[in-house]
Structure 1
Amino acid sequence: MTGADTPPLRFARTSDGVTIGYQMFGRGPVLVWMPSLSNIVAQWRIPAIRAAYRALSRELTVVLYDGRGTGSSDRRVDPDNLGVDAHLRDLRAVLGDAGIDRASLLGYYHATATAIAFAARDPARVQRLVLFGGAPRMREAMLPAQTRALLSLIDQDWDLFADAAAAAWLGWDTGSSNRWTADAFRTATTAPVAKAWFAAAQDIDVTGDLPQVRAPALVLHRQGQQQIPVEVARRLTAALPDARLVELPGSTPTLFLEDPAADLRLVTDFVTSGRVSRTGSGPLTPREREVLRLLPDGDSNAELARRLGIAVHTVERHLASIYRKIGARGRADAVAYALRGVTDFRHPP
């Protein structure tokens, strides 16, 4: 992909003197896709990400930026100044330089906490929140054993870390997408800065900001067992004053890859109108009906799996499909739905 195919880079200056590279393209309401370790120029080379950017830009003005120490932004950063306040300065610099008074925020992984903090502390500037893959207490998003193993590779072998992170964290296959994604990771920053980023993330905790968030929030979850547990997303949803959780089908821990059309419609509809669109349709399968009828018994997913003689991940897949089809926000909604004795599971009552 040539430079002519991507939006031009712009540069903003933070209040503490850091240069932040960003792009702005599309039309319509503004959605700021906030970064973790990023390289927005390299990310345009990933076919699925490029397609997502273009699809979002048909109805939204999309803003991408690289956080301090990464991508096209200033690489010379203070490793002791990578907490949430520093990330807030990056966001404010981009919004100010772009002349954006109010926007919706897509907090993706590391940026989830920053999005929450900004919405709480600058409520007039946030229209809506879309949150995926993170937690207000970032340590919770970094607890899985697989994540700890990957982080240990940063010091040992930076190239191996990039390859492993592309496959395990973002679920890319072994084809060209994986190569481009690994390259985006590899060129996003250096091993010392990445180590400092993740060390700082261990101490990020914005749980105290949650009650002050006034913007409607859409919390999305699609994770395998080795990734962030769904309970983290459920606690986040419950703690926000106006939030809805959608548990997406599949196990790939990313958006816009496993079912890109549904993910894009979900995000675009919410940002443009606040509406949470149905991401699935049609009646429940016989097995899904069986799972739904057992939910009021209070069994865990593991207990349901034993009762039905299937794997736990299969139960999780059925539950995600059930939630999607009946329009449930999560397990509690599905239990209430089942207790109402509905026999036609084609549409929610």
Structure 2
Amino acid sequence: MENMPEVRFARTADGVRIGYQVFGPGPGRWRAPVLVWMPSLSNIVAQWRIPAMRTAYEGLARDLTVVLYDGRGTGASDRDIDLTDLGVEAHLLDLIAVLGDAGIERANLLGYYHSVATAIAFAAREPARVGRMVLFGGAPRMREAMLPAQTQALLSLVDQDWSLFADAAATAWLGWDGAASGRWTAEAFRTATTPAIAHAWFEAASRIDVTEDLSRVRAQTLVLHRQSSQQIPVEIFRRLTGALRDARLVELPGTTPTLFLEDVAADLGLVTGFVTTGRVGRVSSSGPVLTRREQEVLQRLAAGDSNAEIGRSLGIAVHTVERHLANIYRKLGVASRTAAVAHALRP
């Protein structure tokens, strides 16, 4: 793929080959701070095709040396793995192998969803090797991050229809519903791994619990939260922040449960600023703001109601429903009823 960093390979202590990339201003002697973006189910090669992800990678690499890697069983890493051993210890072996192969003694960590627990465990056990941490979307008890009904519904598709799971995750779960981004995001999910490995990953994740490691973490930590009210409650992240010695929680504006999408410049500035200086910049709100009535219309739309049924339910005329829908489409930046429903179903 054009302008994509070379994929390198590290070997873990238990013999698994891990694919990874290093890019940014600091190869060799690491002149820039190193940020390791730790994986959930990933495919680092396919993710470069997603416009929002490429923008995020290139934005981070302006000031940081960025390391991406695919965990065992996913992406460019070995698929022939022990499916009964996908707990935090196995994920730690992947991270340690990448750091060792790349010659990185000390790094900053971006724990993202599944890898939040792994980042916490590594920071607790190897404090001298971790500078700062940014944590997003996961929890020390991973089952708490997997409890929302919508997440459970999506996970049920893993065994039933892998292709449908990839499409649904790209739209509702990670929030990419634009034609190009949605297509490439679904492809990244679809090619990240196999249904059997994904099932084993999520099954193992539901048993991961690193709460006992929290008190031993010394790294300065930024906990970020951006979720809709239907998804992971902010209280989980407040408890996580309170259990860490030096942590700050920032509740980001918006409802799309990912970084570097709703306000890419603000997210990049926040993460880069914290990693390089330890300071947290001012957080602005630039996401779409729906009125209470527009939120009610969108909820009825997501429930499958027709315009006439929405009108009867809310006691308003059909032409008023149509006007609200036009405003909703404009604010959300979508062009269809289906895209609006996908937005409403995002975590």
Query: Is the TM value for this pair above 0.5?
Result: yes
1:148 pairs with 2:188:
no
Alpha-carbon separation, structure 1, partners of 2:72 and 2:262 = 30
Partner residue, 1:38: 42
Match for residue 109 of structure 2 among 100, 105, 120 = 105
1:158 aligns with 2:165: no
2:14 pairs with 13, 16, 22, which one? Answer: 16
Is contact 2:40–2:115 with CA below 8 Å preserved after alignment?
yes
Which residue number corresponds to residue 168 of structure 1? 172
Q: 3-state SS of the aligned residue for 1:140? A: helix
> 1:191 — aligned with what?
195
Is 2:29 the partner of 1:5?
A: no
Separation in 2 of the partners of 1:242 and 1:34?
21
Query: Alpha-carbon deviation of 1:167?
Result: 1.2
> How many residues of Structure 1 are paired with residues of Structure 2 in the alignment?
281
Identify the residue that residue 219 of structure 1 maps to in structure 2.
223
Counterpart residue number, 1:262: 266
**Alpha-carbon distance in structure 1 between the residues aligned to 2:233 and 2:283:** 21
Secondary structure, in 3 states, of the residue corresponding to 2:5?
Answer: coil
**Aligned equivalents of 1:94, 1:141: Cα separation in 2:** 26
Offset at residue 168 of structure 1 (A) = 1.6
Tell me the distance in 1 between the aligned counterparts of 2:116 and 2:109.
9
**Alignment map for 1:296-335 (pairs within 5 Å):** none
* 1:305 corresponds to: none
Q: State the Cα deviation string for residues 159-216 of structure 1 (Å, max 9, x = none).
A: 0000111112211114110110000000000000000000000100000000000000
- Which residue pairs with 2:131 in the alignment? 127
Letter in 2 for 1:209: D
User: Does residue 278 of structure 1 match 2:276?
Assistant: no
Deviation at 1:4, TM superposition (A): 3.3
Task: Determine the C-alpha separation between the residues in 2 that align with 1:93 and 1:226.
Answer: 37
SS of the counterpart of 1:272? helix
Q: How high is the TM-score relative to the length of structure 1?
A: 0.79
Q: Which moved more, 1:226-235 or 1:157-166?
A: 226-235
Identical pairs, percent: 75
Provide the aligned C-alpha RMSD in A.
1.3
Matched residue type, 2:2 = A
Q: Are the aligned partners of 2:16 and 2:78 in contact in 1 as well (CA < 8 Å)?
A: yes
SS in 1 for 2:2: helix
Equivalent position amino acid for 1:8 in 2? E
Amino acid at match of 1:76: D
TM score, norm. by length of structure 2: 0.80
Distance (Å, rounded) in 1 between the aligned partners of 2:163 and 2:266: 33
Which 4+ stretches in 1 moved above 3 angstroms?
Answer: none
- Check the 8 A contact 2:253/2:284 in 1, yes or no: no
Q: Which residue of 1 aligns with 2:300?
A: none
Alignment partner of 1:73: what SS? coil
Unaligned regions of 5+ residues in structure 2, if any? 26-31, 286-290, 292-347
